[in-house]
Structure 1
Amino acid sequence: MGKKNDDIDLPGFPSLDSGGGGDGDTQSKSTGKSKKSGGFQSMGLSFGVIKGITKRGYKIPTPIQRKTIPLILEGRDVVAMAKTGSGKTACFLIPMFEKLKCREPTKGARALILSPTRELAVQTYKFIKELGRFMDLKTILVLGGDSMDSQFSAIHTCPDIIVATPGRFLHLCVEMDLKLNSIEYVVFDEADRLFEMGFGEQLNETLHRLPAARQTVLFSATLPKLLVNFARAGLNDPILLRLDVESKLPDGLMLKFLYCRPDERYTALIVLLKYVIPQDSQTVVFAGTQHHVELICYILTKCGISNTAVYSSLDPTARKINTAKFVNKKVSVLTVTDVAARGIDIPSLDYVVNLHFPGKPKLFVHRVGRCARAGRTGTAYSIFSTDDAAHVLDLHLFLNRQFNINDNKTVGIAPQDLLEEEHLTVTDVKKSHDIAGVLRTSENAYKKYLSSRPVASTESNARIKKIKFYSCKPLDDFLSVNTFLQDPKDSGGEKNEKSKAELASEERKMQEEKHDLLVKMRNFKPSTTIFELNRHQKSVPFTIMKEKRSKHTEVIEKYRNKMEEIDNEEANKQLEADEKEEAEEADADEIESAFNDIVAPKKRKNLEDLYKNKKKKKKVNAKDSENYIPYQSADKHTEDGLAINSFERQAMNAEFSVIDRDSNTDYRPKPGMKKWDRIKKKMVSVQDPRAGKIRTESGAWIPASFKTGRYSDWKEKSKIEEQLQRENGSDDDGFKPLSHDQRYPVGRHARHNAKVAAKKRVGGGDSELRHPEQIVKARMRLEFIKKRNADNAIRKAENRKRSMRKNQRVKQKKGGKK
């Protein structure tokens, strides 16, 4: 298969040819025989894994699953890249279950899954519980923001699988001095997002702590060149697998762009949610910052649209509650920041709305990839203004699509009457005193958002000046909405059906005429100036302008003609091309072959004509397609869209120094040294880069907050270390670890025998000495019982209140009847 234009050249990585979407046979390298492509049964999985897959409802593997799972089962390190919604999570969970098989509490954690966000980690944890319900494996969840004491207790239960975010996991590794020698299987989920969020140091430090004889799997929707070095350092002879890279977006996803003025952004959102998007459908609205999320929620609530919000600084419990509300269809709109652009899978999501346009095309792909997943259909609306027009062009270059403002199926505006109707309500909401602070904060946050957003390419900025967005036509969705709104209630079915079709055509004609009239009014420029309004009065300005106009009439006419030519040039390009094709002139050879005798006057060849011919010949030079080296690479727009750090941003942060700081590790700035801070616009003192940091085993410097001493305090409270010392002292050298059957007996007689054996082993029936795992398990059981009792008490109180309200209603009804 030949190399595509947008493929990334990755030397040293064996690439697996994806063919036509993965429907062909999967070939195994160990046996050399091709397995027939069918269900999961053909992959040689164990009974428990197959049963969990069947109960989950999966029958046929997706193309990425069909290609990836056999390679991971062979023990290969895999770098897999596929579009969103293609089933990447099951690709690394099914081989993990097959590799671990059963629980081994004495060995320690054997699988590690790192996710960039809390939501994605929780979703992976739930998926493990559903898919591995028939596997005897223990999984724990390690998230930032949760209680560290409970995480210490969870790690002491010797789990088999750890699902974690990189920052908190490294914090626990440093705090507890964890030895990760038992890890056999490591997964980096959404690896490019891990680097974008600044987890590069944590990932590299975690890699140094992992054993060399591990299997590493890296999954992502996009794979920029920056991750290649990380993959080479952390993976052993990896194989690269790319499927559906050139499409970038799901097949069932429709993209629509709505242009509006900057002050009508929120009004356009309300018009979309009220008149275009059905009320019973689920919609995710992406905002630029968390301050905008609060403002949007307030505006939607005042407009009567049920909504909720999720953003990074929100309390973790509140984030879970709000997400559950939206998933269970208690509300119809979920307003989020980019924290939800990755990993959240909402099965019934129908629409995505980008209120603030993202700065990178890759972020746009992940935003709109939340809908139209797993073969479903969906629509993504993007509201953009003059600030976002250049980024919209960059997106179309990245997606290799044409951007045509005359195509009102994809690009258009909202009808002016709807905007004016809703604009009054939005302005009334903004003027209320309740959100004065939120409105002011959101305006300042939008300025910061624009300044921190990556700059669009120079090509798009130059091209956007030539596009006249005011000539955009209303979207087709709004035309159909207006037709049904203005449909009269006629009596009679046939007349009503006929009137609907007629009204639809009339509405379209009326909208087109109205649009053309507005465009003409926009283009209208009066021939006279403001000084010539009072023509009857012989004023000094009028006489001066009259004299000036008589002198410069020729210049004014030339300028107007030139502007008209520029305006009509783009519109007439296609017509000129058609005319050239129709009235193509015949060559001299064809004329000579058709006519034997030609009578024509001989033309004299002047020097000027010869010079013009030479110029024309120089311009029409043939380009050798094989040996021609272009100035820009063929996949430039793809690389710019997938890049994590642009060259401009790296150049801004670069500084010239005589000292090589990378090689000289003992470098420390002298006291009193200063440097220029471009943000504060002044000289600031240079701080020691090692101040407030500690050195790890690998030699890297990490913040000192990773080692706070919480673990030692927890050990003193839990008495685990003393219990372990007592047990080791009582058994001396003859201590033997308990087997799985002795620790977890099955049956009433086996449990009784295990208690008797434990009393004999401890000596004299003293039941105070217990294994550390038993202590932690008993403590977690007590915490669970307390929490369950508290939940039951709350539930009983709510039921009591509900029954009291019901009794009051019954009494009121009886009193009314009497």
Structure 2
Amino acid sequence: MKRGKNGKKKKSGGFQSMGLNYGVLKGVLRKGYKVPTPIQRKTIPLILDGKDVVAMARTGSGKTAAFLLPMLERLKTHSAQVGCRALVLSPTRELAIQTLKFAKEIGRFTALRYALILGGESIEAQFSTIHENPDIIIATPGRFLHLVIEMDLKLSLIEYVVFDEADRLFEMGFSEQLHEIIHRLPEAKQTLLFSATLPKLLIDFAKAGLHDPTLVRLDVDTKLSDQLKTAFLHMRPDDKLASLLYLLHNVIRSDQQTVVFTATKHHVEYIKEIVSQSGISTTYIYSSLDPTARKINAAKFTNKTANVLIVTDVAARGIDIPMLDNVVNYHFPAKPKLFVHRVGRVARAGRSGTAYSFVTAEEVPYMLDLYLFLGRPLVTANRQTADTDGIYGLFPPGLLHTEVDFIRCLHEKATELVDLHRVASNAYKQYSRSTPSPSAESVRRHKEMMRNDFKLATHPFLVEMVDSVEQTRMELLEGVKQYKPTTTIFEVGCKTKMAAVDVMKLKRQHHDQVIAAVTQKKQRESGNDTADKRKPQLQLNTWDGIESTFSAVIAPGHRKTNQKTFQDKTHYIPYSSTDQYSEKGLSLGEKSFDRQAAGEVLDLTTDENTEKVKQKQKKWDRKRKRFVHDDNSQRQKRIKTESGAFIPASYKTNVYEQWRDRHKVDAQQLGDKERPLPATARRRSLKGRVWHTKGDSSQSISRGISSKTKQKWANQKGKKRSELRPVDQILKRRRQVERTRQRHQSSKKRSKPQTAKKNRKR
């Protein structure tokens, strides 16, 4: 009632009309937000009403605030009762850190406590984090499940669960951890699924325990931002690195920030060395990099110490890089939705940006898959093309002479670069084997383009950089490529009476008939295609499966109808859905339900063959120096959880009990009143593992700290800390060193007479 009254008093269209409490609304306005985005305007009222929501919108549309604002509104303030009340699961550590930072900024006036649980961090510090009773836990699934099993945490007080980048959580192999976490959550909870892409059949997400969910889908028409400009550049594979250097030096301004996406971490290391030696400040991130190094490198790019960030697809999801200007797809992504996530790092929150994509002959079918997914026609560059957005054009190799010579000189001077290049080439071979194949439609279209002598002109934004001499040279080379001689090698310089000339004439007469037949067939097919294009396109209702899953669907232009359709079997022509390529790009790939169901085969002889295979599997034992039978069940111990599933035994060790005994910490019971931790156990958590917002930070952090230290902090409040030591500290340190040195000298003098007496006795 209070929220409804507050909403009626304010004008519609802003956050004031949503009826948020004063603390949440003040944090939003202090952050600078005034008008909600479309996804926020659609989802926040539904979430405030307590409904389960599956939200789908393009990247950069404000999904993080869409689930954080209702969460802060529901929790309101810190609870002294032991137990977490909200859980946010993220697929990557960078996305979790970003979510925590945003939650602290907009929830600074709510007195809530936040905890960040990430893999690769000290687990003992996370024990103390949980004991400080946070209200909201933002975590990655693997480490959070480890803490739940290790500490035997009860999650029955959780009332708000968010799966951020939900499809990525299932794709990254967190299915086992997610199902175990979901089983431990209470039934009376509100579940939210947020992502930039969702599959057509939401089977995997239905397992998350949604009750009567509502689907909010706002990316049906626009999958890319209107402020984003795209450029597709065709080139040879060997020219990619030189083209990247040319873009960074001549096209992209030096004050702009650029993210370069590559296929493997070996390419990241190799390209980083080349770009750094060309005089451009560069940093890098990939998944197997040390967590501390990843944090430092990300801070360098955020603080604009480095203007180029070279990454793998670890940074393609959900990461909000402020003031980013450009994205370069060094290797074209094999999946259309991965392209959407990559280029979604730019053109966010109303800002403009550019995405440059390098395309080789092998990657053209993947580019055609992207155009089918976006529902756009392929626009190629020609001399009359003036627009540069979404154009597929040629990167002139004549512009790269300087960069090619520079790279060659670097390879000649440093053998390490040659080794890095070799490792990256081998890694790309393995990467190409693991990527999915393009669709048959795209392969067919690519073959038609090659068969029809497809010509590609220079990309419009590079035309001004090509001088007239280079343009003439390119036209000459293109003419040489298109030249087809009318005679064969047997007829060159030969007289008409020679036998070779007569043989080729007879052969040409025979082939002329075949060529004429193929030409007529192509003309008939092209005529049929033209006739088919004139036919009206049939519309297919693709919402049937979605409406059977969700109680309500909110999408642009969607109206639910109950009209019965009549189908005449005699005159029925089967056809495919008009948006089949878009839905295929939105699917979960190999883990989708329809793909798994299609691959299931009933085999009555499976059991016997499986036992034979198990008996034949052996591994080399280094201690015994011989092959032994490899039994996975015996090699890896597993424990049974509350849900009845078996997980690795490494999730349950005695680390938590040892930590409690060492610091003398009592076990917390769910629902009890929170108690302060001992100073020894709280010392590590005060380094930043628990974040207290404005309201109770002075009460919680100041416990166990002396009054002298408090007075010192109060005096230093508002002052910038100096990096130079005061004079009294320097003198005090020198006196300590001098006393230590004198003490060591006196101890040596006392020990010398004793050793002399022992020698005389002997």
TM class by shorter chain equals: 0.7 to 0.9
Compared CA separation, residues 31 and 182, structure 1 to 2 (3 A): same
Alignment of 1:399-410 (within 5 A): 399-406=374-381, 409=388, 410=391
Q: Give the counterpart of 2:682 among 777, 783, 797.
A: 777
Find out whether 1:71 has 2:16 as its counterpart.
no
Partner Cα distance (2:212, 2:606) in 1? 33
Corresponding residue of 1:525: 484
Q: Give the counterpart of 1:166 among 123, 129, 141.
A: 141
Find out whether 1:709 has 2:693 as its counterpart.
no
SS at match of 1:58: coil
For 1:92-126, what per-residue CA distance to the aligned partner results, in whole angstroms no more than 9, with x for missing partners? 11111111111113232111100010110000010
1:230, CA displacement in angstroms? 2.6
Query: Contact conserved, 1:256 with 1:380, CA < 8 A, in 2?
Result: yes
1:180, CA displacement in angstroms? 0.8
2:54 maps to a residue whose letter is: V
Partner Cα distance (2:9, 2:522) in 1? 62
Instruction: Choose 178-187 or 553-562, whichever is displaced more.
Output: 553-562
Corresponding residue of 2:455: 471
Find out whether 1:437 has 2:379 as its counterpart.
no
Find out whether 1:61 has 2:36 as its counterpart.
yes
Partner Cα distance (1:124, 1:237) in 2? 27
Query: Contact conserved, 2:365 with 2:442, CA < 8 A, in 1?
Result: yes
Corresponding residue of 1:752: none
Find out whether 1:554 has 2:509 as its counterpart.
yes
1:523 maps to a residue whose letter is: Q
Partner Cα distance (2:180, 2:69) in 1? 27
Q: Give the counterpart of 1:658 among 597, 604, 613.
A: 604
Compared CA separation, residues 263 and 780, structure 1 to 2 (3 A): closer
Q: Give the counterpart of 2:261 among 258, 263, 286.
A: 286
Corresponding residue of 1:192: 167
- Higher relative contact order by CA 8 Å / sep ≥ 6: 1 or 2? 2
Alignment of 1:285-364 (within 5 A): 285-364=260-339
Partner Cα distance (1:707, 1:38) in 2? 50
Compared CA separation, residues 330 and 242, structure 1 to 2 (3 A): same
Partner Cα distance (1:77, 1:30) in 2? 24
For 1:592-640, what per-residue CA distance to the aligned partner results, in whole angstroms no more than 9, with x for missing partners? xxxxxxxxxxxxxxxxxxxxxxxxxxxxxxx999984534333321222
Q: Give the counterpart of 1:426 among 389, 398, 407.
A: 407
TM-score, normalising length: structure 1? 0.71
Partner Cα distance (1:523, 1:775) in 2? 79
Q: Give the counterpart of 1:692 among 637, 643, 664.
A: 637
Corresponding residue of 1:397: 372
For 1:511-539, what per-residue CA distance to the aligned partner results, in whole angstroms no more than 9, with x for missing partners? 77655443321111223334555559x9x
1:334 maps to a residue whose letter is: L
Query: Contact conserved, 2:398 with 2:470, CA < 8 A, in 1?
Result: no
2:458 maps to a residue whose letter is: P
Query: Contact conserved, 1:690 with 1:701, CA < 8 A, in 2?
Result: no
SS at match of 2:193: strand
Partner Cα distance (1:233, 1:203) in 2? 8
Q: Give the counterpart of 2:154 among 151, 170, 179.
A: 179
Corresponding residue of 1:127: 102
Find out whether 1:637 has 2:581 as its counterpart.
yes
1:674, CA displacement in angstroms? 4.0
- Unmatched 5+ stretches in structure 2: 535-566, 620-627, 690-704, 714-719, 728-762
Query: Contact conserved, 1:391 with 1:456, CA < 8 A, in 2?
Result: yes
Alignment of 1:224-263 (within 5 A): 224-225=199-200, 227-231=202-206, 233-263=208-238
Partner Cα distance (2:7, 2:21) in 1? 22
Query: Contact conserved, 2:52 with 2:212, CA < 8 A, in 1?
Result: yes
Compared CA separation, residues 118 and 555, structure 1 to 2 (3 A): same
1:463, CA displacement in angstroms? 1.8
SS at match of 1:64: helix
Compared CA separation, residues 795 and 700, structure 1 to 2 (3 A): farther
1:411, CA displacement in angstroms? 0.7
Compared CA separation, residues 298 and 558, structure 1 to 2 (3 A): farther
1:37 maps to a residue whose letter is: S
Larger Rg: 1
Compared CA separation, residues 191 and 780, structure 1 to 2 (3 A): closer
Partner Cα distance (1:383, 1:573) in 2? 35
Query: Contact conserved, 2:145 with 2:181, CA < 8 A, in 1?
Result: yes
Compared CA separation, residues 553 and 42, structure 1 to 2 (3 A): closer
Compared CA separation, residues 39 and 649, structure 1 to 2 (3 A): closer
Partner Cα distance (1:255, 1:627) in 2? 44
1:658 maps to a residue whose letter is: L
For 1:422-445, what per-residue CA distance to the aligned partner results, in whole angstroms no more than 9, with x for missing partners? 222233334540123322221111
SS at match of 1:467: helix
Partner Cα distance (2:602, 2:9) in 1? 57
Partner Cα distance (2:44, 2:125) in 1? 34
Aligned residues: 643
Alignment of 1:480-559 (within 5 A): 480-482=464-466, 515-532=474-491, 535=494, 543-555=498-510
Query: Contact conserved, 1:105 with 1:160, CA < 8 A, in 2?
Result: no
Partner Cα distance (1:355, 1:783) in 2? 37
Compared CA separation, residues 156 and 214, structure 1 to 2 (3 A): same
Give the aligned CA root-mean-square deviation in angstroms. Answer: 4.1
Compared CA separation, residues 779 and 31, structure 1 to 2 (3 A): closer
Compared CA separation, residues 512 and 165, structure 1 to 2 (3 A): same
Partner Cα distance (2:610, 2:399) in 1? 64
SS at match of 1:219: strand
1:549 maps to a residue whose letter is: M
Compared CA separation, residues 296 and 711, structure 1 to 2 (3 A): same
1:635 maps to a residue whose letter is: D
Partner Cα distance (2:207, 2:686) in 1? 44
Query: Contact conserved, 1:406 with 1:472, CA < 8 A, in 2?
Result: yes
Query: Contact conserved, 2:260 with 2:309, CA < 8 A, in 1?
Result: yes
SS at match of 1:471: coil
Corresponding residue of 2:548: none
Partner Cα distance (2:598, 2:405) in 1? 43
Instruction: Choose 380-389 or 413-422, whichever is displaced more.
Output: 413-422
1:162, CA displacement in angstroms? 0.5
2:347 maps to a residue whose letter is: A
1:336 maps to a residue whose letter is: V
Query: Contact conserved, 2:7 with 2:16, CA < 8 A, in 1?
Result: no
SS at match of 2:354: strand
Partner Cα distance (1:656, 1:794) in 2? 73
Corresponding residue of 2:697: none
